[in-house]
Amino acid sequence: MKFPSQDGDAGLASLTTESANPVAAGLDARSALEIARIMNSEDRKVPEAVGRALPAIARSIDVIAESLKRNGRLIYVGAGTSGRIAALDASECPPTFGIDPERVQYLMAGGVKALGRAAEYNEDSRPAGRKDMAGRGPGRRDVVVGVAASGRTPYTIAAVEYARRRGAMTIAVVCNGNSELGRTAEIEIVAEVGPEVVSGSTRLKAGTAQKLILNMLTTGAMSRLGYVYGNLMVNVSMRNQKLNARAAMVLERAAGADSKTARETLAQAGQSVPVALVMLKTGATRAKAESRLKQAKGNVRQAIEMK
C-alpha cells in the first residue's frame, strides 16, 4: 500500500539526514574496527547538536510540566524509528516516575504492531494521523509532541495539526531545519546531526538525538513536578526484587535511615516510597504523610517542606 509523497524525491534528497556522508565512504569494505571508529566519531556530534537546542528543550519541559500539573496528558506521535523511540520513552515513565500510563501516551503509525515489525507505509497517510489523534481527544490541557527526523512525515504532521486545532500545545522534535512539522508545531526542537553513516538510516545519529531529547523532556518535567527527590526515583514501582531493594536504598540515601528502618517504614507506608520518605523526614504518621502528598499533588519535596 502506497501513498503519494508530499514533495517528491527532490524534497527528500535535500534533507541533511538523507545526504551522503563522505567520512563513511566505502563502509562495506572497512574492517570492523574502522566501522566502529567511524560510527563512534560521528556519534560524538550528537550531544553537540542537542546542546544547540537546549533553550527550546527547556521551554518544552516547562510546558509539559505545567500540562501534567493541570491533569493534562503528554501524547507522543511518530512513525518508524521516531515512533518507536517515542513509544519507549512513554512506556518508561510509569515505572520510573509512578505516573499513570494514561498521562503519558504515544501514537504510532500502523499501531502497536508496527513497534516490532516495519509498517512504514502507514507514515504517508495524513487521514490516518488525523483519525488516530482524534481518537485520543486532545484538548487545551494536553501537550502533543510530534517526533520525525525528517520533519516531513505526513502521518505525524496531520496528527499534530489536528491536536493544535483542538487547543493542545504542540511540540516538534526534528533533525532537519525549516521543516513542515517544525512550522506546524508551536515549539520546534531541532537537532541537526548531519548525514548518517549509512545514508538515510535515521535510526543512527538522528535516533540517538531524539532519544536524548525525549529523555530530557520527561525527566525534566517529572523533576519539576517533584516526582523525583534530589536525583532519586522516589516514585519507583516495587514490582520485583531489584526494585524492592532500590526502594529501600532510596530511603536510606534520602532520609539517612539504616536498612532495617527503611524497610520497616516502607511496610508501614503500604510499600509507598513517597509516603515512607515523608514519614521519615517529618515524623508524620502514614495518614498525615498521605495527606501532605495529596495537598502537594505528589510533589515529594513540597510535601516534606509543607508547614
Q: Is 92 a catalytic residue?
A: yes
Q: What is the per-residue pLDDT across 219-235, written as a single tens digit (0 to 9) for each?
A: 999 999 999 999 999 99
Q: Where are the strands (E) in 137-269, listed by range?
A: 143-147, 169-174, 187-190
Q: What is the mean pLDDT of residues 189-212?
A: 95
Q: pTM for the full model? A: 0.90
Residues contacting residue 21 through CB under 8 Å, at least 6 positions apart: 42, 194, 195, 196, 197, 199
For residues 181 and 134, is the Cβ–Cβ distance under 8 A?
no
- Is it the case that residue 119 has pLDDT exceeding 80? no
**Residues 129, 79: Cα–Cα separation, whole Å:** 10
For residues 226 and 296, is the Cβ–Cβ distance under 8 A?
yes
Q: Which of 123, 161, 188, 290 is labelled catalytic? A: 123
Q: How far is CA 69 from CA 59, 103, 155, 162, 226, in A?
A: 15, 11, 29, 23, 10
For residues 182 and 157, is the Cβ–Cβ distance under 8 A?
no
pLDDT band, residue 6 (cuts 50/70/90): very low
For residues 79 and 108, is the Cβ–Cβ distance under 8 A?
yes
Of the candidates 177, 136, 131, 137, the residue with the CA atom closest to the CA atom of residue 154: 131
Q: Which of 66, 92, 192, 252 is labelled catalytic? A: 92
**Percentage of residues in the chain having pLDDT higher than 70:** 95
Q: Going from the N-terminus, what domains does the chain have, and what CATH number goes with each?
A: 8-222 (3.40.50.10490), 241-305 (1.10.8.1080)
Residue recorded with cell 550531544: 47
Q: For residue 272, which phi and psi values (nearest 5 degrees)?
A: -100, 115
Q: What is the mean pLDDT of residues 162-185?
A: 97
**Residues 303, 307: Cα–Cα separation, whole Å:** 9
When mean pLDDT is compared across 61-65, 108-112, 155-159, 285-289, the lowest value belongs to 108-112
For residues 246 and 233, is the Cβ–Cβ distance under 8 A?
yes
Adjacency order of strands within the sheet including 104-108: 104-108, 74-78, 143-147, 169-174, 187-190
**Residues 27, 35: Cα–Cα separation, whole Å:** 7
**Residues 264, 248: Cα–Cα separation, whole Å:** 9
Residue recorded with cell 520510573: 96
Q: Is 123 a catalytic residue?
A: yes
Q: What is the per-residue pLDDT across 27-66, written as a single tens digit (0 to 9) for each?
A: 999 999 999 999 999 999 999 999 999 999 999 999 999 9
